Amino acid sequence: MLQRVHMPSDLGEAAGLLANDPTAALLAGGTLLMPAVNNEVTPIQSLVSTKRLGLEGIAVEGDRARIGAATRLADVGADPRLAFLHPVIEAIASPPIRNLATVGGNLFAWQPYGDLAVALLALDATVMVAGQQGQREAPVAEIVASGVAAREIVTGVEFAVPTEGSWFFTKAMRRKLNSAAIVTVAAVITVESDAVASARVALGGVGRRPLRAPSVEAALLGKPLDAATVAAAAEHAIDDAEPFSDAYASAWYRARVLPVHIRRAILGE
């Protein structure tokens, strides 16, 4: 049963509260945490709020963007400097949820949710983390795969804004709006001298966490970014995926349509 809510004013205080109370949990937007607190059997008895920690805000300097972990998804979706991310944000849940849900929280959303985490994986983002031992940085791939240490706090994410024409995204859903992913595809692909010079392809909805598709990436490198190349590369995606069945789609169906949606993302089919 929930007993108390703490409102610390700095990261050190927040980390101390988490470290000294094994029943405490960090509260940001609450869209993942509060349903568990209210509806499930949980050891959580106290909450440590991020509201006064100053973890909100978006900064873009040159080609680098930094977003505070407590920044609401709706704020990202309204920032013209991050226009390439707007389709990602608009594909997530509904406006009321996006007005609460945070960038940091989305890193820990269970699949087939967490579309922003898929995008950040394609962007090769860096995650800033604070704890009683100080602050550290970690690749977003590490965070989505393993989380953070007990009592650590994600404070923000940083990434390079992709150049024009290098960003690709699509999400397949049961409904047009407010639905979890059947397949999510996000990619950053650069072309030089008519050949793919670099490729990062991230997938959602086809594994227990967002994941990269190194087999697809390798099949793209050094080749022209045309329909034949993309179609051939997309067929390798199943080598990297771990499709599962849920209320939205079967594992068989996810595996069947995965290459289709990779083609749609990159080629705009």
> What pLDDT is recorded for position 38?
85
pLDDT tens track, the chain, 269 positions? 667 899 999 998 999 999 899 999 999 999 999 998 888 778 899 999 999 999 999 999 999 999 999 999 999 999 999 999 999 999 999 999 999 999 999 999 999 999 999 999 999 999 999 988 889 999 999 999 999 988 899 999 999 999 999 999 999 999 877 899 999 999 999 999 999 999 999 999 999 999 999 999 999 999 999 999 999 999 999 999 999 999 999 999 999 999 999 999 999 97
Could you give the 3-state DSSP secondary structure of residue 60? strand
Identify the pLDDT of residue 1: 62
* Per-residue confidence (pLDDT) for residue 41, from 0 to 100: 78
Tokens of 103: 């960038």
Pairing assessment for the beta strands 4-6 and 46-49 based on DSSP bridges: parallel
Name the residue with tokens 């409102």.
7
Cβ neighbours of residue 217 under 8 Å, at least 6 residues apart?
A: 199, 200, 201
Q: Is 43 left (phi over 0), alpha (psi -120 to 50) or beta?
A: alpha
pLDDT for position 151: 86
Name the phi and psi angles at 3, rounded to 5. -110, -35
Residue 17 φ/ψ, nearest 5 degrees? -60, -40
Cross-strand partners of 190: 198
Q: Which of 188, 183, 216 is nearest to 120 (CA)?
A: 188
Token pair recorded at residue 81? 């400097």
Q: List the one residue out of 140, 258, 125, 154 whose CA is nearest residue 204.
A: 258
Q: What domains lie within the chain, and their CATH numbers?
A: 4-49 (3.30.43.10), 58-160 (3.30.465.10), 167-267 (3.30.390.50)
Task: Look at strands 167-173 and 126-131 and give their pairing.
Answer: unpaired
The CA distance from 269 to 174, in Å, is 18
Q: What is the DSSP letter of 31?
A: T
CB-based contact 181:172 (threshold 8 Å): yes
**Residue 126 and residue 142 in contact, taking contact as beta carbons nearer than 8 Å:** no
What is the pTM (predicted TM-score) of this model?
0.95
